[in-house]
Amino acid sequence: MIRNTSLNKMYREKLSRSLLLFAIIPAILVTGIFFQLFFIIIHEISDRELTRRNEELSSFLSREITSYKDEIHALQNHALISRVFTNDKFHTQMYKELYQIVTNHQLKSNFYIANVDGDILLTNAYKNNAVQIYHDKYLTKVSKTRNKDITFYNEKENHASDFTFLKMTAPIYDRKESEVSGFIIFDLQANHLRRFYENTNYTDIVITDPFGNQLFSSKRSLILDNGKMGALTDEGYHVVSSAIVDGEFIVHSIRYEGMLQKVFLFGFIGLFVICALMVIITRLFAIHTAKKKTKSIDSILSTIQDVKEGRYKGYNKLAEEDEFEYINYYLHEMILSKNHLISKNKEIQIRKTDAEIKQLQMQFNPHFLFNTLENVKFMIRMNPVSAENLLLKLSSILRYSISNTEQDSPLKHDIKYIYDYLEIQKARFDDRLNYSVDIPEELGSCPIPKLIMQPLVENAVKYGIDHVEQLSIKIKVSQIGGNVIIIIADTGIGFPRERLREIRRLLRSPRNTSNHIGIYNVHRRIQLKYGHAFGVRVFSEENRGSLLLIKLPFREEDGK
């Protein structure tokens, strides 16, 4: 029995599942999807912004450095440039031109004209020994190359925001271009690069040569001790890089994603906690609602359960103001009416069933006897020697069919009857008929309705032998769970598809309106005796044969 507490629990569980499935879970899914989409969109926007800023910085540096290169090449070929080293009167004019070059650029620089010994002749910066050090360290090498190429150097030891991050140096030859007279130097200043990172959240820039050596870095921690940029992608950084000036420089725009990842993680944890709280609150709400709303329902369900188990205790009135009292009252009236109808119809049904079973059973013997006598008559003409044996089998068949008035018989007796019947048919049709019977010994004593297989086997022979060269009939009995399954299979002509549908419709009907007496009678006897869960099922394929399946309840020999 399902107790009131169980019914309450059932309702509570259903209410809880309904709230979870149709309210909480959809809300969680939608929130989770929007949460994920929000961070995907933020990440995508951030990536696009980082790429845009990298393109902006790369374009700016490429334009400025290329312009400086063009200016230096033009100065190398300037008519007055070599005279600066021999005549002071050209210094002022040359200074104006160099100053104008710097003024025209957004990326400012300090310029120097130095002789081969490192002495500064012209500059817009304070004179110090830096050029002399630069001369001793690098310019002596440039002079030995004896070419007009521009050489790039960087100040590795300086990381201030206004330091010289790139030196562009080119040799100046004498008028005959046979000897190096001196050098022209532009120190590109880093202060103008601030606007590319100072006003941007979580974005830094690093400029390196093709080998990873840093020329400029907006944050010292991004550079290793050896002066190279570290592998930042493994530490929560997103890096966008671009090569400029024919691959001479690499511009890296860097954004730290650790903060965004932390926000996502904390947001996910917060969302998980909120979802857990919503589930707990839903559970508590379901318990409270079930206790409040199901008291009357529990009473009605308890009454229904009592009726189901056959122990109705009578009318249990609910409170007058309870809206479920109407249902409770009409339920009581329905139960009284149902009990009255059951009592009235029970005797009628028993009498009707007994009469119908007797009527159906009487149809078997005359029908079978007529067919069997026809077969014996035929066999006597064909083989008089076996006539006595056939008559003995016929006598056994007749004795079995009329000697026992009981409706049930052990399965082994019905099988013996089928053996005798098939032997008579075998004697008649010789090799055209083959049969086999497979029955477990332990099922031999199982009681079944008497003569339940005979009409089906008879139909298989009657309607199959004239349409095939050889007819095989196989009978197999088995126990599956609490049921006995009898299969009768033949290799006869089978049923056309429309005929098969007609037979199946007939078996579902409570009344036989056709001439298919055999199969219908067997099916009807079984259902009247055991109920609609049992009976005969028909499977057939035209020109390939048929299979009839009889399903009966398994019973012990004593009928338990």
With H, G, I as helix, E, B as strand and everything else as coil, classify residue 224: coil
Lookup result for tokens 């009236």: 333
pLDDT at 161: 44
- How much is the average pLDDT of 298-313? 70
Helices and strands, counts by H and E, the chain: 14, 16
Q: Which of 22-31, 307-316, 368-377, 399-408 has the highest mean pLDDT?
A: 22-31
pLDDT at 369: 60
Residue length of the chain: 560
At residue 490, φ and ψ (nearest 5 deg) are -135, 160
- How much is the average pLDDT of 377-399? 71
- How much is the average pLDDT of 382-408? 71
End-to-end Cα spacing for the chain: 25
Are 15 and 290 contacting, i.e. CB atoms less than 8 angstroms apart? yes
Asked whether residue 184 carries a pLDDT value surpassing 80, the answer given is: yes
Asked whether residue 355 carries a pLDDT value surpassing 60, the answer given is: no
Q: What is the dihedral of CA 69, 71, 76, 81, to 10 degrees?
A: -150
pLDDT tier for residue 435 given thresholds of 50, 70 and 90: very high
pLDDT of 213-231, one tens digit each? 888 888 887 888 777 887 6
Distances (CA, A) of 495 to 504, 506, 512, 514, 554: 11, 14, 19, 16, 30
Residue 41 contacts by C-beta under 8 Å, 6 or more apart in sequence? Answer: none
Residue 330 tokens read as 């009409």
pLDDT of 80-120, one tens digit each? 888 888 888 888 899 999 999 999 998 888 898 888 877 88
pLDDT of 245-265, one tens digit each? 988 899 998 887 766 667 777
Outline where 20-158 has alpha helix (H): 25-76, 91-103, 130-134, 140-145
pLDDT at 554: 92
Residue 552 contacts by C-beta under 8 Å, 6 or more apart in sequence? Answer: 448, 449, 452, 483, 484, 486, 526, 530, 534
Asked whether residue 47 carries a pLDDT value surpassing 70, the answer given is: yes
Query: Hey, which residues does 217 pair with through a beta bridge?
Result: 206
**Residue 255, burial from CB neighbour count under 10 angstroms (0-12, 13-18, 19+):** buried
Interstrand relation of 433-438 and 203-208 (parallel, antiparallel or unpaired):
unpaired
The domains of the chain, with CATH numbers, are 46-256 (3.30.450.20), 302-356 (1.10.8), 363-553 (3.30.565.10)
Report the C-alpha gap between 510 and 533 in whole angstroms: 14
Are 257 and 204 contacting, i.e. CB atoms less than 8 angstroms apart? no
**Which regions of 421-481 does DSSP assign to beta strands (E)?**
433-438, 447-449, 471-480
- How much is the average pLDDT of 54-69? 92
Give the DSSP H/E element, type plus range, for residue 494. Answer: none
